[in-house]
Amino acid sequence: MRVLFSTIGSRGDVQPVVALASHLKALGHEVRVCAPPDFREWIEGLGIPMTSVGPEVRRFAVSRPTATKPQNPLTAEQRRQMAEATVATQFETLTSAAQGCDVIVAATTLQVAARSVAEKFGIPYVFAAYSPVVLPSPHHAPPPLPPLPGQAPPTTNDNGELWAQDAARFNELFGAAVNARRASLGLSEISDVRSHMMTDQPWLAADRALGPWPDVTDRRVFQTGAWILPDERPLSRDLDSFLEGGDPPIYFGLGSTRAPEEAGPVMLHAARALGRRAIVSQGWFDDSLVQNDSDCLSIGEVNVHALFSRLAAVVHHGGAGTTTAAALAGVPQVVIPYHYDQHYWAQRVHTLGIGIAHAAGAPTRGSLASALAQSLRPEVAARARTVAGTVCRNGTKVAAERLVAPA
């Protein structure tokens, strides 16, 4: 079987499809991944052919807003131009990459062209989400998004109405451009971009213990479990020595967003206030958040599965992959959400009792120290270890078997 994977976003959006592609490749199937050019070296280093789609996503990564530096939203014209460029790039790239493929698997909620390309070639199409809250359901509201220019924030708490507004937003941003491209391929017009993209039988690549689909009687959603990429890389000598040099430290990492300028001192203060050492991830941008010292170490990209189990706690942004990795390690978490499904994962960590959901935005020294103190309570650590035993590791296997099963 020849499988084309398509995703757009940061490392947390790309790594799950790479995990499933790697699993299928090991089974003898042909795979190709369409992803932002940021990840070419890594993906091709795994022996997986890659086609770049769109510009480098680092160029568009934003800073976490603070009280003194609020987020500046895009204008309506900027959004229109970006939407049209995204649609054009996806249609052109995927139409070329899908030649000779048997199925297209698209993940993340910007996959506005993949199903149309699959339709043009007459091949199956699968949409996968990494979080239950991304998929429409009467049991939850859509992930929060900033209002479009001139659009008032939602004034209703009715989930059905909120999902209708979410669909209207997709249509406003992408509808005209998608239908113009579909017409050029000889395809009929669609009336709902979001439902067309997600299909009426989406996959949910999230662990059932951490992120369960809220309606167990709903058989339309196929929950595979999280797609976890095996990582056998050893930790660096410097990192291993630091870990061995004292009590388990606290890890701080905010993913692919730009951390506020004051984030480094805030992190170190919070750790030191509790008598703990700190490991600070540089992420994509933050190579100067902290200077290495006897009680702190700044690190780059790392095998988190090897690292997290040796920590006292993990402070992170609430990405699905990081939340799952910390849960698998049985380590308490403090989640500082910024946007989209990160709020969902923060709440799940709180609900499960495996950590603390910090308020959204930029933490202060006091707020972060307080959240960490709560997460380090013995009962939270014990609960984290218990939940770790319920998290499944075979999501990629389940997804692969479903994908290649005879129709």
Strand partners, 326: none
* Distance of alpha carbon 213 from alpha carbon 219, whole angstroms: 10
Closest CA to 317 of 376, 259, 373: 259
* Distance of alpha carbon 169 from alpha carbon 192, whole angstroms: 10
Q: How many residues does the chain have?
A: 407
Per DSSP, the three-state class of 279 is: strand
CB 294 within 8 A of CB 272: no
Cα-to-chain-centroid distance, residue 227? 11
Q: In which residue are the tokens 């500082």 written?
A: 336
CB 305 within 8 A of CB 362: no
Strand partners, 129: 204
Closest CA to 258 of 278, 287, 280: 287
Closest CA to 173 of 110, 116, 114: 110
Domains and CATH numbers, the chain: 2-226+393-404 (3.40.50.2000), 237-388 (3.40.50.2000)
For residue 383, count CB atoms less than 10 angstroms from its CB and return exposed for 0-12, middle for 13-18, buried for 19 or more.
middle
Closest CA to 122 of 33, 186, 201, 200: 186
Report strand pairing: 296-299 vs 250-252.
unpaired
Q: One-letter amino acid identity for 256? A: S
DSSP characters over 95-152:
HHHTTT-SEEEEESTT--SHHHHHHHHT--EEEEESSGGGS-BTTBPPPP-PPPTTPP
State the pLDDT at residue 60: 62
Tokens of 221: 């959603």
Tokens of 79: 């959004």
Q: Write out the chain's pLDDT in tens, 407 residues.
A: 999 999 998 898 999 999 999 999 999 999 999 999 999 999 999 999 999 998 787 766 655 555 455 555 666 677 778 788 899 999 999 999 999 999 999 998 889 999 999 999 999 999 999 999 999 999 999 998 766 556 666 777 899 999 999 999 999 999 999 999 999 999 999 999 999 999 999 999 999 999 999 988 888 999 999 999 999 999 999 999 999 999 999 999 987 776 667 788 898 999 999 999 999 988 655 555 667 788 899 998 899 999 999 999 999 999 999 999 999 999 999 999 988 899 999 999 999 999 999 998 788 999 999 999 999 999 999 999 999 999 999 999 999 999 998 65
CB 308 within 8 A of CB 331: yes
Tokens of 288: 């100067």
Tokens of 134: 């991304």
Report the phi/psi class of residue 59: left, alpha or beta, with left for phi > 0 and alpha for psi in -120 to 50: alpha
HSE-CB at 287 with a 13 A cutoff on CA atoms is 4
pTM (two decimals): 0.91
State the pLDDT at residue 140: 94
Q: In which residue are the tokens 């989930």 written?
A: 159
* Distance of alpha carbon 76 from alpha carbon 112, whole angstroms: 19
For residue 347, count CB atoms less than 10 angstroms from its CB and return exposed for 0-12, middle for 13-18, buried for 19 or more.
middle
* Distance of alpha carbon 296 from alpha carbon 50, whole angstroms: 37
Residue 359: CB partners within 8 Å, gap ≥ 6?
336, 367
State the pLDDT at residue 400: 97
For residue 350, count CB atoms less than 10 angstroms from its CB and return exposed for 0-12, middle for 13-18, buried for 19 or more.
middle
